Chain A
Amino acid sequence: MSGMSPIVKTVTRWVSPFILAFGIYVALTGHLTPGGGFPGGVIIAGCFILLMLAHGKEKVYGIFNLKSASVTDSLASLSFLCMGLLGYVFGGGFLNNFIQSGFPGKVFGLLSGGNMPIINIAIGFKVGGSLFVVFAYLALFRAIEED
């Protein structure tokens, strides 16, 4: 499965950086504009899946192979849990927005939501990594079955 026709390859090569940028934008500005960690992460996963479909597995594995994807998945979930535990340690509740109560950022600024942007980034990485892993396993599973 070495990927599709050259036309598709070049188009995806050109488009994928913009998809990735859009995914990161949606994930990052979750607390300001519509979007958030989940849709952003899914767009990031979609960009990698697109590359994988167009260029075949080997090329994409150079950037984001199976092991690093599931590692990002676990690490991002662990960092989300640690943000919660930090809130627990700093008093307040288990998932307390301790940065916001500590020093709130500029009202409509990017860093205004206390630990909300941080959690958004963690969810974005987690969803991106995990969906890419499950799609890679589905493709891997099918490829082995064929040959």
Chain B
Amino acid sequence: MLPLFVAIPLGIGFLLPLIEEFRERTKLFAVTVLLETGLLLALSLVKFGEKSIYRMGGWPPPIGINYVLDGLSSLVLVVISGIAFVTTLFAMTYMSEYENLGKFYGLFSLMLAGMYGVALTGDVFNMYVYLEVAAISSYALVGFNRGPEELEASFKYLIMGAVGSVFILLGIAMLYGSVGSLNIADISVRVSEVADQSFILLSTALFIVGFGLKAAFIPFHSWLPDAHSSAPTPISAMLSGVLIKVLGVYALSRLLFNGLNLPNLAPQILTWIGAGSMFIGGVIALGQEDLKRLLAYSSISQMGYITLGLGMGGIFISQGKPAIATLALIGGVFHLVNHATYKSLLFLFSGGVERIFGTRDLSKIGGITRISPVSGATGTIGTLSISGLPPFNGFWSKLVIVIAAIWGGLYPIAGIVLFTSAITLAYYLKVQRDLFMGDVVGEIVEKGKISPGIYVPLLILALCCIGLGLLYLPEFRGVVLKPAALALQEGSEYTKLVLGL
């Protein structure tokens, strides 16, 4: 069953450009991708909670490539499929007037296949190849509008991404040279036997730089605001919601926690990078006027939360406090799920705003709730949950991270988390004040354009924002988030599952 996750998007990705050669403008492309993402969402929900491996071509793990389905990867699968389904639903109406739709949806499903490949694989080089599949499809999709700005943003994203990939490949080459195998579980067994760890540390540093470029950590974030603001709206929702998480933080944490058994300095670096990008991303976002650029910088800062949670988990594991480590990892994973929902909600909402007012400049537009109450309401829910107000899901995951930081004794970190939440609240209240509440400002380009196709996905995501708050309750948390945290925490479980030692 597992290879279908990659085989179906690949098949459709190869098929759609073929169909477009013969019939240009058909609704067929959007409908096929919608059915495909719906099927994959159902498949990922069925597979949720299972722990199994799948051997590619029937070869045992160190020889061949294998898939690993454990708590963390099944959760990530559900997040990818959910956001992809909602985004395709939104794109059916939003992109209907564009040309080259066969290529757009073909690249979209290839990007999906790449993300599924990275989420499931248990092999280092295979993760690199499918990371390239997802990244290259997203480079072309960012530049899909082909205006001067979009091309420049796509070129910058391509160069930074290519440099990141080369660093990851160099890290894999160093790792293979000093360990001799490519399977993540096999590496974690062999890494402990290596006498001189200096080259393992070097490849860890290369991985942190390479995946940092993919996940837009603070020193390497300069491509993200341009790429996310000039991409077509469904694509910037997918990029911010899922792509930078799966390709960046998930792949890095899978390698560091399960592959390299947490080299001694790695968790500290991760924590401080997380704290840095959280703080600096928030401060820059304060001064943004363009709605999408503001959302892009807030993505960098929210990604900082996730990295912080995972990094703190790593610190507590190495300090020998398993209970607090599980809590911190739960905080990181919980925030990953939450951020995927409300960030894609806000990006889709900003697409609707752009469609109504014709511009994204916050100073020139206002009073959207009067024009279309539904998108106004869902946008409000999105802004409230991202700034972490109690009833919504953003609050609970930040709460878990703060508790883990205080309980574990990292008081400066807890201080930075609280301060950044205050900054986030500030700039989203600014958005709230003039975009939603005020009277109608700016001429309305297309009043009747907000058809159900636009605000139904917004409604679905808004309900998720409210519903996911329940994950904080102990019984839900134990079923959904705890296995994901334990998948990272107990490396030995992972190797036992894969190699059957």
A and B touch in the complex (CB under 8 A): yes
Asked whether A67 and B57 contact (CB < 8 A) given A78-B11, A81-B10, A84-B7, the answer is no
Cβ contacts A90-106/B at 8 Å (1 or 0 each):
00111111000000000
Q: Is A71 an interface residue (CB 8 A)?
A: yes
Of B12-20, B207-215, B331-339, B428-436, the one contacting chain A is: B12-20
Residue of A nearest to B57 (CB): A93
Q: Find out whether the CB atom of B7 lies under 8 angstroms from the CB atom of A81.
A: yes
**Which chain B residue shows the least CB distance to A88?**
B3
Interchain CB contact under 8 A, B17 and A94: no
Known: A70-B21, A88-B7, A93-B59. 9 other contacts (CB 8 A): A70-B17, A70-B18, A74-B21, A78-B14, A78-B15, A81-B14, A92-B57, A93-B55, A93-B64
The docked-state distance in angstroms from the alpha carbon of A93 to that of B10 is 17
Q: Check if B7 sits within 8 Å of A85, measured CB to CB.
A: yes
Q: Does A134 contact B (CB under 8 A)?
A: no
Contact size class for B?
A: 10 to 19
CB distance from B272 to the nearest CB of A (A): 41
B58 within 8 A of A: yes
Q: 9 smallest A-B Cβ distances: which pairs?
A: A94-B3, A74-B18, A93-B58, A93-B57, A92-B58, A77-B14, A95-B57, A96-B57, A78-B14
A93 to B11 CA separation, bound complex (whole angstroms): 18
Which residues of A57-81 have CB atoms within 8 Å of chain B's CB atoms? 67, 70-71, 74-75, 77-78, 81
Give the residue name and chain of the B residue nearest to A79 (CB).
B14
A94 touches B57 (CB 8 A): yes
Measured CB to CB, the closest approach of chain B to A129, in angstroms, equals 12
The answer for the CA separation of A94 and B57 in the assembled complex, in Å, is: 5
Chain A: interface size category: 10 to 19
Given contacts A88-B3, A94-B3, contact A81 B11 (CB under 8 A): yes
Greatest chain B CB density within 10 A among A67, A70, A87, A93 is at: A93
Q: CB-CB < 8 A to B64: which residues of A?
A: 93
Nearest Cβ distance between residue A142 and chain B, in whole angstroms? 17
For the complex, what is the distance from the CA of A67 to the CA of B24, rounded to whole Å?
13
In the docked arrangement, what's the CA distance between A125 and B97, Å? 34
Residue of B7, B11, B18, B57 with highest tally of chain A CB at under 10 A: B57
* Complex-state Cα separation, A30 to B389, whole angstroms: 61
The listed residue with most A CB atoms (<10 A of its CB), out of B3, B11, B14, B64, is: B14
**Closest Cβ–Cβ distance, residue A81 to chain B (whole Å):** 6
User: At the interface, yes or no: B56 with Cβ under 8 Å from chain A?
Assistant: yes
Interface string of B54-84 (1 = CB under 8 A from A): 1111110000100000000000000000000
Contacting B57 at CB < 8 Å: which of A81, A85, A97? A97
Give Cα A75–Cα B19 distance, bound, in whole angstroms. 11
Q: Give the chain B neighbours of A85 by CB distance below 8 A.
A: 7
**Do A74 and B56 touch across chains, with their CB atoms under 8 A apart?**
no
Q: How far is the CB of B41 from chain A (nearest CB, A)?
A: 21
Distance of B456 from chain A, by nearest CB (Å):
32
> Taking CB as reference atom, which chain B residue is nearest A68?
B21
B69 to chain A minimum Cβ distance, whole angstroms, is 14
Determine the residue in chain A with the shortest Cβ distance to B55. A93
- Distance between B203 CB and nearest chain A CB, rounded to angstroms: 27
Enumerate chain A residues within 8 angstroms of B55, measured Cβ to Cβ.
Answer: 93
CA distance A113 to B284 in the complex (A): 58
Q: Can you give 24 A-B contacts (C-beta < 8 A)?
A: A70-B18, A71-B21, A75-B18, A77-B14, A78-B14, A78-B15, A78-B18, A81-B7, A81-B10, A81-B11, A81-B14, A84-B7, A93-B54, A93-B55, A93-B57, A93-B58, A93-B64, A94-B3, A94-B7, A94-B54, A94-B57, A95-B57, A96-B57, A97-B57
